[in-house]
Chain A
């Protein structure tokens, strides 16, 4: 890592930031999310806090600019220079500008805003470019996956040289031989608790998987004995925790796992490539994450549940069907409220909403049975 000449740094630990101008290629919410995650990458490694403001001056003013925008560093249109930021200081100090001519995205296509924002905020906090190709502060663009992102070692050393480490809060750099604290073992939620709910449920081969926080349960469709929870990190390291939705397409032997605006494809427990953006499925731009998904084997269609609406995706044509979204309540009588998870077993759809699991009979077009969600894992 390298610092700027004179090692400029902020003399305070709590900094304000404000997005002054947005880009048309992303919604305000998406820009805000990417900026927030970009700043969090640094506050996770150093005693820094960032407070969002919506008016007046802030330490870090963020804007999307075109061409020559008055700071003697004109942008150059698509590609080339993507963004720049100024070292800590008054006025322009800390300010971060993105080239509005770029295709900013939340996924892997175009230029991922989180990736570039996290890099530029390194400059805004006092880091210059690093010659370490694995560093976030390396000058050329390389996609970084926002979820579960951790600063590479080189950048941690750099930011801690300026602000100390978050654990000690002192300027002294962290002594590398300190044992790295292992993440605490996941607390096991009480699946018999009356308020217990799942994050996601899916078939995978001959098994059913139930996800909750950092854990998941796997069981045969015929429940023989009580099942023990496993750590998601142990089997699905890329997923880490808090899966939003999951489903399997058995005749293709692939499964999909959703988290925020991204999804992963697996063959069994084997990941097939890096995460992609859910925009691949053809959701409208305002859909940033999905609540639940269920694959209907005979129809070869997948239903996606978002809020109080649902979409239908044709797995053969790999296309979202027209005339969607539709209201969940209108189409599935007896199912109301947010859907946490859904799965098709033996031709019935099981909807998990909060502590209840509803067995829905499509022929009768009605709920025919209701149980506690936790009963699926032996409660």
Chain B
């Protein structure tokens, strides 16, 4: 339920899962998560904010339109936060 904060009025559950996968891939220090560990909702929001800051977007913590637009662009597979 706390994760819902990241879900803005306009995004869908599909967007939510797309964003979650994206943030796991590019904004999660690999050693930080082990299989089976449950991520707290506010950590999702924090990652959204990190990603918005990196791309120079407005930092809202929400999966708003411009954030989802960046998430859906083809890109390099190296994480943005170095690990």
Binding site for B on A (CB under 8 A): 2, 4-5, 73, 75, 79-85, 99, 102, 111, 116, 119-120, 123, 128-129, 131, 133, 139-141
Contacts and interface: CB of A to CB of B under 8 A. Distances in A.
B73 interface: yes
B54 A128 contact: no
Contacts of B73: 140-141
Interface of B: 25-26, 54-56, 70, 73-78, 80, 82-83
Given A131-B54, A131-B56, A140-B70, A83 B80 contact: no
Contacts of B82: 2, 4-5, 128
B74 A79 contact: yes
Contact of A129 (B25, B70, B74, B80): B80
Given A2-B82, A5-B82, A129-B80, A80 B74 contact: yes
The interface centre, meaning the residue of B54, B74, B77 with most chain A CB atoms within 10 A of its CB, is B77
Contacts of A2: 82
Q: Which 10 A-B pairs have the closest CB atoms?
A: A84-B77, A81-B77, A140-B73, A140-B75, A141-B74, A128-B82, A79-B74, A139-B75, A129-B80, A4-B82
Contacts, number: 56
The interface centre, meaning the residue of A83, A119, A140 with most chain B CB atoms within 10 A of its CB, is A140
Contacts of B25: 81
B77 A73 contact: yes
Given A133-B56, A140-B70, A128 B77 contact: no
Given A131-B55, A131-B56, A139 B80 contact: yes
6 contacts: A82-B74, A84-B78, A116-B76, A139-B75, A141-B73, A141-B74
B55 A123 contact: no
The interface centre, meaning the residue of B70, B75, B78 with most chain A CB atoms within 10 A of its CB, is B78
Given A131-B55, A140-B70, A119 B76 contact: yes
A131 B26 CA distance: 14
Contacts of A85: 78
A140 B82 CA distance: 16
Given A5-B82, A128-B82, A133-B56, A84 B74 contact: no
B77 A111 contact: no
Given A85-B78, A102-B74, 7 more contacts: A79-B74, A81-B25, A81-B74, A82-B74, A84-B76, A123-B78, A141-B76
A82 B54 CA distance: 20
A80 B26 CA distance: 12
Given A2-B82, A4-B82, A83 B56 contact: no
A124 to B, nearest CB: 10
A82 B55 CA distance: 18
A79 B76 CA distance: 10
Nearest to A99: B77
Contacts of A139: 26, 75-76, 78, 80
B62 to A, nearest CB: 20
Contacts of B74: 79-82, 102, 111, 140-141
A69 B82 CA distance: 21
Nearest to B70: A140
Contact of A83 (B54, B55, B70, B76): B76
A129 B76 contact: yes
Contacts of B55: 131
Nearest to B54: A131
A82 B78 CA distance: 10
Nearest to A131: B54
Contacts of B26: 139
A228 B37 CA distance: 74
B32 to A, nearest CB: 14
A255 B77 CA distance: 40
Contacts of A5: 82-83
B78 A128 contact: yes
B82 to A, nearest CB: 5
B80 A82 contact: no
A140 B80 CA distance: 11
B50 to A, nearest CB: 11
A81 B56 contact: no
A123 B82 CA distance: 11
Nearest to A79: B74
